[in-house]
Amino acid sequence: MGKKKLSSSLKRKTRSKTAKQPLWRGPTVDGITQSMLSRWLVCRERFRLLVVEGLKPADTFNHRIEYGQMWHICEEDMAAELNWQADLLEYCCGLCKRYPLQQEQVQHWYNVCKVQFPLYVDYWSKHEDVKNRTPLLQEEVFNVPYKLPSGRTVLMRGKWDSVDLIGKGKNAKVYLQENKTKGDIKEEQIKNQLQFDLQSMFYLVALIKYQDKSDNPGFKNFYLGGVRYNVIRRPLSGGRGSIRKHQPTKSNPNGESDDQFYDRLSDVIRDDADYYFMRWTAEVTSQDLDKFMHDFLTPCLEELCNWWDWINSPGGQKDPFSDAIHYRTPFGLYNVLSEGGATELDEYLATGSDLGLQRDTELFGELK
């Protein structure tokens, strides 16, 4: 009996000691994804709770995230000429086991994806940039070194949806395709921001670094074209085309069956395909990439490394707030960039033109 108690006590101590070790080993060892970088930019303390202590919200089914995952499975299988229907079903069966109390929602979004994806394939099959497309990479996981002026090397990590060669001969260029499922699509906003968008530019920088080290001579000899931003509107997200299941009536006491409802949804999407399937191409030059690295990526990663050195030090482990490099973001901040919008200064940042701007001579005039 005493041995059992001692054994249990030792196990508890071991777990406690292990729990104090950071979950993440930092940007130069485990690397950083664009989504992690985004979290760090938003709030360093909330990021620390995730990567050091491993704290995150309890797992629950999120249809916005999971519909995107379903779509990626279909895209990947189609590119590899595999059976996307079978793999989609297998993935969703796994979701049902993972979220037993939300199986009805999983089943619903499985049916929506199964209806929408074939219409998407048919819609784009006749498009010029599909006819002249040579796939180079599909759903490719990357782990690319990024050397900083300080001498440190950060590992850029992520997964490219698709990297394609578009065009023929000397005019052919390499494009990164980003596939997004969205309930609300703001076309002008997306087009205006692609050349300084965190995820798109992060992935393009990684692609250039990857291309430089590639063993494929054909891949290395092509110029970068930019980003093909492929957006799929998630059906039934409010607004146009958001149909509801017909309820029982006197003339139809059984109401609308599931099969009838999803058949009707298929017709809605097919009849308004331009609304559900959109794609924009943003040309990105080497100067655009240099500007992104110079103005954001390099200084941001240097600061991230400095922050991590502090957090991982004895002082940072004892009290992370005792150095000014760490803080907790308060509520009440207004950040139009985080909302996907733009500021009045973005045209100046992009082109250097101060048209429509004025130069103030004092900042606190309203306080006099």
Name the pLDDT band for 363 (thresholds 50, 70, 90).
confident
Rounded mean pLDDT, 58-68 = 94
Q: Which of 150, 120, 157 is nearest to 302 (CA)?
A: 150
Cross-strand partners of 226? 175, 283
Residue 214, classified by CB atoms within 10 Å of its CB into exposed (0-12), middle (13-18) or buried (19+), is middle
Name the pLDDT band for 205 (thresholds 50, 70, 90).
very high
Quick one: pLDDT at residue 215? Answer: 74
By the 8 A CB rule, do 283 and 226 touch? yes
Quick one: pLDDT at residue 217? Answer: 64
Name the pLDDT band for 216 (thresholds 50, 70, 90).
low
Greatest alpha-carbon pair distance for the chain in Å reads: 82
**284 vs 335 pLDDT, higher one:** 284
By the 8 A CB rule, do 197 and 350 touch? no
Among 69-83, 270-284, 321-335, 354-368, which stretch is predicted with the lowest mean pLDDT? 354-368
Quick one: pLDDT at residue 131? Answer: 72
Q: How far is CA 327 from the centre of its chain?
A: 25
Q: How far is CA 360 from the centre of its chain?
A: 38
Quick one: pLDDT at residue 8? Answer: 38
Q: Which of 229, 360, 338 is nearest to 282 (CA)?
A: 229
The label of the residue with tokens 């009290």 reads 319
Q: Which of 128, 227, 230 is nearest to 185 (CA)?
A: 230
Name the pLDDT band for 2 (thresholds 50, 70, 90).
very low
Rounded mean pLDDT, 316-344 = 87
Quick one: pLDDT at residue 170? Answer: 79
Q: Is the pLDDT of residue 365 over 80?
A: no
Alpha carbons 336 and 211: distance in angstroms, whole number: 34
Alpha carbons 56 and 144: distance in angstroms, whole number: 27
Quick one: pLDDT at residue 5? Answer: 41
By the 8 A CB rule, do 42 and 338 touch? yes
Q: Where are the domains of the chain?
A: 21-58+127-236+261-343
Q: Is the pLDDT of residue 10 over 60?
A: no
Q: Is the pLDDT of residue 201 over 80?
A: yes
Q: Is the pLDDT of residue 191 over 80?
A: no
Q: Is the pLDDT of residue 30 over 60?
A: yes
Angle, CA of 277, 281 and 282, to the nearest 5°: 140
133-147 and 173-182 strand pairing? unpaired
pLDDT > 90 fraction of the chain, expressed in percent and rounded:
62
User: pLDDT per residue over 84-97, tens digit each?
Assistant: 999 999 999 999 99
Rounded mean pLDDT, 137-151 = 94
How many CB atoms neighbour CB 167 within 10 A?
Answer: 18
Rounded mean pLDDT, 111-136 = 88
Quick one: pLDDT at residue 218? Answer: 61
Quick one: pLDDT at residue 12? Answer: 33
Q: Is the pLDDT of residue 9 over 70?
A: no
Query: What is the rounded average pLDDT for all residues in the chain?
Result: 88
Start-to-end CA distance of the chain, whole Å, equals 77
Rounded mean pLDDT, 180-196 = 78
| pTM across the whole model | 0.85
pLDDT > 70 fraction of the chain, expressed in percent and rounded:
92
Rounded mean pLDDT, 61-78 = 94
